[in-house]
Every structure is written in structure tokens, then in C-alpha cells.
Structure 1
Amino acid sequence: MSQQNIDVYAPLPFKSKQDAQKTTVSLSSTAPFAPSFVIASLTQSSDPTGIYTSRIKGRTMLLENPARDSRLKKEMERKTELKKQEKERKKLGIVGRRKRQERGIWKFDPKLIKYVNVSYFFEVDSGLDRYSQLLPLHHLWMGYMSELLGLPAPPAGSIRPESIGANAPSSSSMHPKLLKADFHGAVLTVKQSKNSSLIGLSGILIHETENAFKLVTTKDKVKLIPKENSIFTFTVPAYSTLPATFQPGMPYPLPGSQPEPSPSLFTPSPTQTVLDVPHLMFELYGNQFRFRSSERAGRKFKHKESIEL
């Protein structure tokens, strides 16, 4: 059988325009392509026109699956966006710190010390009586604790020391609130620390950072105490220090802003602290407390055993 020789370099056969017009299918509005094709394809159905009308007519039909981004690509885009946000956050932090230094926010007039935020009291001259000027802040904090923990009103007469704990709220209800509370104005004491020179230091908290507490002691000294490897104690009043007429949403009363009440063993005077009245003492583990106060407010803490000093 003879083989036919084919020239692979020969030009492709050209189809004339007239031949192309003969093979072209012409469609009209009376017989569009999609319904005609679907109805003709449903050869096994007894009513192809009815199936087309009920299931296909008037609906959007996808001729092919849309392209989807791969999971790896989405993960890379997410990481890139997170890095960009972190870079912007650091940039804003540097700019904000520079603006604070230029505006002198960390410095203030000693004459206005009683009326300004005392959280950064360490800029004031050492000749001032710092501790006594911080007592109003401490009394505000006691009022804040009285409302936050729902402390009971002080009794009218005397009370036995062993019954103080029985009248206080349960520890299970106080602990979650204390974890998220603001401690500026509280009296903190270093109970244990790997640095033995810090043990026993006590003072009013004026500034809390992520890793340290800044205290003003009774000797008007400013001490920066690291949270790491330290155990602190703080006290809250056993009974509410707010007046009986106080309502939620009202400003906390300051010493001297209201008529002087009758002397009471359960309410501190303007020159006293929470340590001079019946109080409840709590321990604060610094290693588990290394968060900013704003982060603690929205953080969920899990109960777990702690091995400390």
C-alpha cells in the first residue's frame, strides 16, 4: 500500500468568505440559542419545555467556576497587612512621644499640684510634701473601690474583728473585678522580692506601666518597683467610704468637700489611709500582672496555679 506524501510546510487551506457564510448558524430573537440548546439536550424528559421554564428561565447560570484565591495567597496578604499595621503603630508611638515631650506634658507647675493629674508626680521638686498631697487621690480610690466591689455600709455601732470578713462580699465576686481595676491611688506594699532591699517598701501608687509600679512612700521618696519576681499586698476598706446619699454616676467626694462627718472607726479621716480603718488585704503576684492597665480591662484571665518566690 502506497503512502501518501504530505507537505507539512504547505499553507493551510483557505476557506472563502462565501463558504464561511454557508456554515454560520444564524440566530433570531424568536429562537435564541440557550433555550433551544437546553430543550434539545433534554431528550430523555417527557416535558423539556416545562423543565426549562421552571428551573432555568430567568436565572443566572454560571458557565464556569469563578477563579478563587489560594489559601496561601490569602495568608501572605494577611501577614503583610499585619506587618504594615504594626509599623504604623510604632511610627505613631514615636511621634506621639516626641509631641508629649515638646508640649511638656510630663512636666507641670508645682503650684497646681493639687489640681492636676498626679500620675507623673516624679517631675515635682523634692521639697514638696508629696505623700500628704496624694492622700486625696487615695481617698478617691477608696470611693472607687467601694462602688466597684459593692462594699456594705459601715455599721452604726461597734463590731467584732472576726465578723468583718463575714460582712464583706465573697472573694469569687471580688477577684475578677480587682484584676481589671485601676490601682492608681492604692497603697501597695512589697511583701516578697528577689531583691531583698525592696521588701517592706510601701507607698501610694501614682503610675503603673507594663512592668513596674511607681510609688510615693511616706518619706516622700519616689520608688520604681519592678513587677517581675515580686509579690505585693494591697488593701481595700471593709466598709464603704461613700456617703449614704451617693448615687451611681455622681463624682466621688473628696476630703473637705463636704461637711465633716462625726468620727467613725470605719471611715478614714482626710489624713488617714485605708490601713487606719478595718480593711481587707489581697496579694498581687507581679509575674502574672505584667500588663498595662488598659489591657487588663479587656483581658480574660484564666485560673491557674502559680509557683512564686
Structure 2
Amino acid sequence: STEALVRAPLPRELLKVLGPQSGSKAAAFTEAFLGSSLQRPGNHDLKNLLTHKAVILGYARPKKQKTKRSSKRAKGLTAQQKKALKVFQIRPEHQRYELFLPLHDLWRRYVLDLCAGLKPTCSPQFVQQKLLKADLHGAIITVVRSKCPSYVGQSGILLQEFKHVFKIITREDRLKVIPKRNSVFSVEVNGFVSHIYGSRFEQRASERSAKKFKVHGSIDL
């Protein structure tokens, strides 16, 4: 029977080959047996399979092909070219206060939307912070204090704002250039009057929107 065959002692020929005294012969037999029994691809080495060593495979992400972007950028006009072309110059026939009243109306609506309607419950600090970063082109500004007495009382619609000066048109149709430094300006919107210290306001309109202003108790002119 099968059980009797399993329990039968090994023949002497196999005992000599597989016995404990012949370890090298047993290892050779095991390797030959496995080599004939295992189905392996031709490119695999049997000795590498029997050593049970882990193989670390290298991996590299495929490189993305960089699209060539044109290095040429549209260059704007230089300061000398703008001056030669008179880009910022307002012609005498356009220096009329009435022509810029619609611009002032647009600015008032812009500030009302910016300050959530300018309700009576709005705090002056809230309105002040909004106006400090707002675009003032079209606002009516008035010089309330200045080291130069001739500037005090000058009022008009702001047409152009530069880093160091305001350019306004007065009710008398006169174009005035007022330096920001050493002057204090007032801006009125729906009864809210805000004062601007020009010495702390020497930035361009585009730069002022990202600037953090500090609260000062008083500033000497």
C-alpha cells in the first residue's frame, strides 16, 4: 500500500547519497533536482534564485519636456521715451474742471462700494484704512496744512498721482502740482473727512495697495 511504501526504509544507494555524512553530495543533488523541476526563464540564474537576496530596482521619473517659451517680452516705454512723447502731459484745451466731474462721480461710487456704502455706523478708522489703499484718481483733495503757505487751501480733482506729487485741476481751471512731502491733505466722501499725511504717502498708487500703514499719533511737518 501507499502507507507501507512511505514508511519503507531508504535503499542503501540513496542513503549513501543523501546521508548526513555526505553533505556536499546532498547539496549537489538538491540543486540538480530543483534545476530540473523549476520552470524558469532562460535569463534568470538559478543560484540567484536560491540565495533569497532582495534586488533593489532603480526608478527614475520621466523628465517632462520643457516647452520653449519665448524669452522676448513686451517692453514698455522708458521714462525718457514717455517724457519725449509727453504721455503724462495734459493739453491746455483739456485743462477744464467740468471735463473731470464725471471722473469724480465715478470715484465716489467706487469708494461707496469699497467702504460698504459708508453707513453712519462705519468707524472713522475703517474708512481711513480703506482710503489709504484706494485709488484716489478722481477724488477732490484739499491742502489743509503745509510748510509752504502758498499750498494751503488749494483744492481740486486729482488727475494724476506720482510717487512724490499730486497733480490736480482746480475750479478755476488751473492745473496745480503739489508735492506730497510736508503737506497734509483732506479727502471728503459723504460727510466723512479723512486726512492724509503726504510725507507718509510717498508711494505710487500701485505700490500703496500692498503697503501696511502704521498708526501715528501726530506727525510734525
Which residue is 1:290 aligned to? Answer: 202
Query: Match for 1:145 among 111, 114, 120?
Result: 111
Task: Note the alpha carbon deviations across 1:21-70, whole angstroms, 9 max, x for none.
Answer: xxxxxxxx8889xxxxxxxxxxxxxxxx8xx85xxx5277xxxxxxxxxx
User: Which structure would you say has the larger Rg?
Assistant: 2
Q: How does 1:1-309 map to 2 (within 5 A)?
A: 58=56, 95-97=77-79, 100=82, 104=85, 106=87, 120=88, 122-125=89-92, 130-151=96-117, 167-237=120-190, 279-309=191-221
Query: Measured at CA, do residues 125 and 290 of structure 1 come closer, stay the same or move farther in structure 2, by a change above 3 Å?
Result: same
Taking the aligned partners of 1:284 and 1:201, their CA distance within structure 2 comes to 15
Taking the aligned partners of 1:231 and 1:281, their CA distance within structure 2 comes to 13
Query: Measured at CA, do residues 58 and 232 of structure 1 come closer, stay the same or move farther in structure 2, by a change above 3 Å?
Result: same
Percent sequence identity over aligned pairs: 36
How many residue pairs were aligned?
166
Say if 2:169 and 2:175, in contact at 8 Å, map to a contact too: yes
Instruction: Provide the alpha-carbon RMSD of the alignment.
Output: 3.4
Say if 2:107 and 2:137, in contact at 8 Å, map to a contact too: yes
Taking the aligned partners of 2:132 and 2:201, their CA distance within structure 1 comes to 8
Say if 1:212 and 1:224, in contact at 8 Å, map to a contact too: yes
Which residue is 1:260 aligned to? Answer: none
Which residue is 2:23 aligned to? Answer: none
Which residue is 2:42 aligned to? Answer: none
Partner of 1:206: helix, strand, or coil? strand
Letter in 2 for 1:170: S
State the shift of 1:100 in Å. Answer: 4.3
Taking the aligned partners of 1:229 and 1:300, their CA distance within structure 2 comes to 21
State the shift of 1:206 in Å. Answer: 0.2
Say if 2:114 and 2:130, in contact at 8 Å, map to a contact too: yes
Which residue is 2:19 aligned to? Answer: none
Task: Note the alpha carbon deviations across 1:86-128, whole angstroms, 9 max, x for none.
Answer: xxxxxx66x43455467x472xxxxxxxxxxxxx5x53225x6
Taking the aligned partners of 2:97 and 2:186, their CA distance within structure 1 comes to 19
Task: Note the alpha carbon deviations across 1:177-236, whole angstroms, 9 max, x for none.
Answer: 111100001111111111111111111100000111001111111111111111111101
Query: Measured at CA, do residues 302 and 207 of structure 1 come closer, stay the same or move farther in structure 2, by a change above 3 Å?
Result: same
- TM-score (normalizing by structure 1): 0.46
Unaligned runs of 5+ in 1: 1-28, 33-48, 61-91, 107-119, 154-166, 238-278
Letter in 1 for 2:78: G
State the shift of 1:301 in Å. Answer: 2.2
Say if 2:128 and 2:194, in contact at 8 Å, map to a contact too: no
Unaligned runs of 5+ in 2: 1-44, 59-74
Partner of 2:92: helix, strand, or coil? coil
- TM-score (normalizing by structure 2): 0.62
Say if 1:189 and 1:232, in contact at 8 Å, map to a contact too: yes
